[in-house]
Amino acid sequence: MKPELDVRKLRHDFPALETRVHGKPLIYLDNASTSQKPRAVLEAMDPYYTAGSANVHRSVHELGEVATRSYEGARVKVQRFLHARDAREIIFARGTTEAINLVAQSYVKRLLRPGDEILITALEHHSNIVPWQMLREETGATLRVAAMSDQGELLLQRYQGLLGPRTKLVSLTHASNALGSVNPIREMVEHAHARGIPVLVDGAQAVPHLAMDVQELDCDFYAFSGHKVFGPTGIGVLYGKSSLLESMPPYQGGGDMIRSVRFETTVYADAPQKFEAGTPNIAGAIGLGSAVDYLSALDRAAIGRHEEELLLHATEALSALPGLRILGQAGKKVSIVSFLLEGTPPHDLAVLLDQEGIAIRAGHLCAQPVLERLGVEAAARASFAFYNTHEEVDALAAGLRDVIKALR
Within-domain flag for 215 = yes
C-alpha radius of gyration, the chain, whole number: 22
d(CA 104, CA 107): 6
Q: Give counts: helices (H), strands (E), the chain.
A: 14, 17
Residues 182 and 327 in one domain: no
Q: Which helix (H) or strand (E) holds 43?
A: helix 39-50
pLDDT of 239: 98
pLDDT of 407: 79
Residues 20 and 109 in one domain: no
In terms of Cβ atoms closer than 10 Å to its own Cβ (0-12, 13-18, 19+), residue 184 is middle
Mean pLDDT across the chain: 97
DSSP per-residue letters across 190-224: HHHHTTT--EEEE-TTTTTTS---HHHHT-SEEEE
Q: Enumerate the H helices of 140-281 as residue ranges.
A: 156-162, 185-193, 214-217, 242-247
Residues 82 and 210 in one domain: yes
Angle between helices 282-297 and 62-82 (to 10 degrees): 40
Give residues with Cβ within 8 angstroms of 320, minimum separation 6: 397
pLDDT surpassing 60 at residue 1: no
For the stretch 355-365, pLDDT in tens is: 999 999 999 99
Which of 234, 267, 297 delimits the end of a domain?
Answer: 297
> Shortest CA distance to 81 belongs to which of 239, 308, 281?
239
pLDDT band at 58 (very low <50, low <70, confident <90, very high): confident
pLDDT band at 2 (very low <50, low <70, confident <90, very high): low
Within-domain flag for 263 = yes
pLDDT surpassing 70 at residue 105: yes
d(CA 40, CA 287): 8
Q: Which helix (H) or strand (E) holds 27?
A: strand 27-28
SS3 237: strand
pLDDT of 3: 65
* In contact, 239 and 89? CB cutoff 8 Å: yes
> Shortest CA distance to 348 belongs to which of 314, 393, 378?
378
For the stretch 201-219, pLDDT in tens is: 999 999 999 999 999 999 9
d(CA 108, CA 6): 45
For the stretch 231-243, pLDDT in tens is: 999 999 999 999 9
Within-domain flag for 2 = no
Residues 293 and 353 in one domain: no
Q: How many residues does this entry show for the chain?
A: 408
Residues 204 and 289 in one domain: yes
Residues 330 and 360 in one domain: yes
pLDDT surpassing 90 at residue 406: no
User: How many Å from the N-terminal Cα to the C-terminal Cα in the chain?
Assistant: 46
**CA quadruple 184, 188, 234, 178: dihedral, nearest 10:** -50
Within-domain flag for 124 = yes
Residues 311 and 396 in one domain: yes
d(CA 360, CA 346): 10
Buried b (16+ CB within 10 A) or exposed e, 318-343: beebeebebbbbbeebbbbbbbbbee
d(CA 384, CA 395): 13
Q: How many domains does the chain have?
A: 2
Residues 226 and 374 in one domain: no
Q: Which helix (H) or strand (E) holds 42?
A: helix 39-50
Within-domain flag for 35 = no
In terms of Cβ atoms closer than 10 Å to its own Cβ (0-12, 13-18, 19+), residue 59 is middle
* Beta strand pairing call for 266-268 and 324-327: unpaired
Residues 292 and 308 in one domain: no
Would you name the residues annotated as active-site residues? 366
Within-domain flag for 1 = no
Which of 248, 264, 297 delimits the end of a domain?
Answer: 297
Percentage of the chain lying above the pLDDT 70 cut: 99
Within-domain flag for 401 = yes
For the stretch 282-304, pLDDT in tens is: 999 999 999 999 999 999 999 99
pLDDT of 172: 98
Residues 216 and 256 in one domain: yes
**Which domain range does residue 349 map to?**
7-30+299-407
* Beta strand pairing call for 199-202 and 167-173: parallel
For the stretch 219-266, pLDDT in tens is: 999 999 999 999 999 999 999 999 999 999 999 999 999 999 999 999
Residues 50 and 140 in one domain: yes
Q: Enumerate the H helices of 140-184 as residue ranges.
A: 156-162
Q: What are phi and psi of 49, to 5 degrees?
A: -90, -35
The CATH number of residue 305's host domain is: 3.90.1150.10
d(CA 381, CA 362): 6
Mean pLDDT of 153-166: 98
pLDDT of 175: 98
Which of 297, 323, 352 delimits the end of a domain?
Answer: 297
Residues 347 and 212 in one domain: no
d(CA 298, CA 310): 18
